[in-house]
Amino acid sequence: MRSVQHQLHISAEWITQYASSIEAPLQVMNGDLIAPATMPIIFWQAFDIPWLSKDVPFIHGMQRFSYEAPIIAGMNLDCELWLTKVEKKRSKQGWLTFYDHTLVCSSDGALIGTAETVLIRVGDYDEKNNNS
Amino acid sequence: MKKTITAEAIQRYAAASKDTAAIHLDVEAAVNAGYERPIAHGMYIMGLAQSIYLTEHPLQWITAYSMKFQKALFVDSVAIFDYEVDDDRIHMTVGLESGEVIASGTFSVKERQS
């Protein structure tokens, strides 16, 4: 398994901008602005992910989020993104390559949430060209 | 609930998410990739599905959420968001007027203290 790590500061502006892009209502819990449940998917923009080529489109196959506590504005998150499995399957469309990921985010050592993501690449491909 | 998935909404999501893959934004790139026109980001659909539900249930927050993406949703399509509430679990389907299912999933909710 390979992984990349990043620390993220969750600002109120970032939450507001993301919420607006998915037409989500802004929610407050105990006086703190909370992030929409799907927001960790845009944390990927902070990572340099060597196993995903930026030149190749991927299809989203499955997504799952699970929370111990909400992500709130002002939080500093320590996040680690793991590539947990790569699997190639033949289909009617030709070869499909499934990339299974797990993102784990904590704050001050306490687990906040995890996200599992399956991305699919359609077509045959040489893995050596995408692992630079 | 029915909602038209506009090119403007996809562009807004692409800017916020920094997922600017051409299949979402450019007709020629989408056609070259085998689609009839640009497709919505799966995560835009998933995000929108939670937003529609929470707008109707503003005192809840989502503690877990999963979705399987089954088909591409083309820009300018009318998507139908259906929810079935089972206590604190909500089963949800995103489909088309033709009956085709685009995505389906489940989320769990809790009441929140504002």
Mutation pick from B11, B32, B56, B66 vs chain A, by most beta carbons of A within 10 Å, is B66
Query: Which A residues, 39 through 68, put their C-beta within 8 Å of a C-beta on chain B?
Result: 41-42, 45, 57-67
Higher per-residue confidence, B114 vs A50: A50
Q: How many whole angstroms separate alpha carbon B43 and alpha carbon A102?
A: 16
Here the tokens at position A5 are 């790590």
B75 Cα to chain A: minimum distance (Å) = 15
**Hey, which residues does B32 pair with through a beta bridge?**
none
Tokens 């020629």, residue located: B28
Q: ipTM of the assembly?
A: 0.93
Q: Give residue limits of the domains in chain B.
A: 2-111
pTM of the predicted model as reported, rounded to 2 decimal places = 0.91
Contact, A39 vs A21, CB < 8 A? no
What's the pLDDT score for residue B16?
Answer: 94
Q: Where in chain A are the domains? A: 2-130
Radius of gyration over alpha carbons of chain B, in Å? 15
CA–CA dist A61, B43 (Å, integer): 10
Angstroms from A9 CA to nearest CA on chain B: 16
The rounded distance, in Å, linking the Cα atoms of A55 and B21 is 9
3-class DSSP assignment, residue A100: strand
pLDDT at A127 over 60: no
Q: What is the pLDDT of residues B9-66, one digit of tens each?
A: 999 999 999 988 888 999 998 998 888 999 999 999 999 999 999 999 999 999 999 9
- Architecture of the CATH domain A2-130: Roll (3.10)
CATH number for the segment(s) B2-111: 3.10.129.10
Q: What is the mean pLDDT of residues A98-126?
A: 91
| pLDDT tens readout for residues A15-49 | 999 999 999 999 999 999 999 999 999 999 888 88
